[in-house]
Structure 1
Amino acid sequence: MSVEAELTAVVREPERVRAKLAERAEAEHSVYADTYYDRPDHSMDRDGYELRVRTITTGEERRVVLTYKEPPVDEASRSKPEHETTVADPDVMNTIFEGLGLVKLISLEKHCDNYRLTADDRDLLATVVTIPELDGQTFIELETMAEPDDLKAALASVRAVLDSLGVAEDDAVTESYTDMVANAR
């Protein structure tokens, strides 16, 4: 079972962080259109599960990814076991989920600059994120995949890269984007 070892933080100086990331990798600009599904009683969200259909648009290219995340295995970082696959049509997934009795929890759009880099022999993805509904805020997500017994070391590598970018531990975000957007609405 692979775990997404991820830390998310507020970025106080977005241009400085983007410049430091650009020294290590080329940015790929994408827009993510995310729709999250849940049971009518919202028990999946309450219990830490996520079921998401994401449409990723990068230039003229479009792909759709279905993601299921289990509850966090590390509460401090909210790192979760993640299962992901590509799908052809988000509308078909919506029909299937609604047919199974699920409801749309929330939909949101993320504007992302993705940087693929390596640290401590790990492949990492750094994503600088803005969400139109969270006007004026910029976030960074830094992640790598790890096995459960390697999670602590993976998170230490992630934290070290954030430190090198000048992103302080105090800037960590523990609230999900879905909760932040729901509260903004």
Structure 2
Amino acid sequence: MIEAELKAVVRDPERVAALLDARAEGHPQVYEDTYYDLPDGSLMAGDRELRLRTVHGEHDTRSVLTYKDARVDASGSKPEHETRVDEPNAVHAMLAGLGYVRAIAFSKRCRNYEFEHAGRRMLATLVQVPELDGTFLELETLVEQEQLGPALDDVRAVLASFGIAEKDLTTELYTDAVAARRA
């Protein structure tokens, strides 16, 4: 599956949050993300991601191991493979044992909204990364490769309904932005 996703800088976070709240119930969560790479950096250099995420929600905590392949188009959309993890510490140890190294780790404060648009299940996430300035909006839907173009059109339509313009879109990865801030 391809994660048809667009990310934008939000110029008016309160307005966008109110529009999202009118569409669906928001769920606050804190993500603790650890990204892994090979010692030579070839995974990230090849635009691929290996991430172990622990999500702290209102009522539970869960962990997910995700692999994202390289971008398939200019939007930044990537094939994604994900599975739930019962023992994150064991997975950290397994990855280290297999020769992966922790490339970067950081947290994100998120508010997630799930809704349907044009027959597609959408996930909108308002994101703040404590180390970065501003608020971001990620909007995604999972599709087969041949549906990527129409799915991105639907994602753009929803973003436009929130007042997000093309000039607000960004393909900069949080990993890159956090690394640059720390440098």
TM > 0.5 fold call:
yes
Contact 2:27 2:58 in 1 (8 A): no
Alpha-carbon deviations, 1:93-148, whole Å to 9, x = none? Answer: 1111111111001001000010101111000000000000003x100000000100
In the alignment, which residue of structure 1 is the partner of 2:136? 139
User: What's the C-alpha RMSD, in Å, of the aligned pairs?
Assistant: 0.7
In the alignment, which residue of structure 2 is the partner of 1:32? 31
Alpha-carbon deviations, 1:46-74, whole Å to 9, x = none? Answer: 10110000000002410000000111111
TM-score normalised per structure 1 = 0.97
Within-5 A mapping of 1:97-112: 97-112=95-110
In the alignment, which residue of structure 2 is the partner of 1:183? 180
Whether 2:14 is the aligned partner of 1:15: answer yes
Whether 2:158 is the aligned partner of 1:161: answer yes
Whether 2:161 is the aligned partner of 1:151: answer no
Distance 1:175 1:23 in 2: 29
Within-5 A mapping of 1:48-87: 48-74=47-73, 76-87=74-85
- Identity over aligned pairs, percent: 53
SS in 2 for 1:92: helix
Distance 2:102 2:170 in 1: 24
SS in 2 for 1:157: helix
Flag structure 1 segments of 5+ consecutive residues without an equivalent.
none
SS in 1 for 2:140: strand
Distance 2:138 2:41 in 1: 25
Distance 1:110 1:89 in 2: 21
Please report how far the alpha carbon of residue 40 of structure 1 lies from its aligned counterpart in structure 2 after TM superposition.
0.7
In the alignment, which residue of structure 1 is the partner of 2:91? 93
TM-score normalised per structure 2 = 0.98
Flag structure 2 segments of 5+ consecutive residues without an equivalent.
none
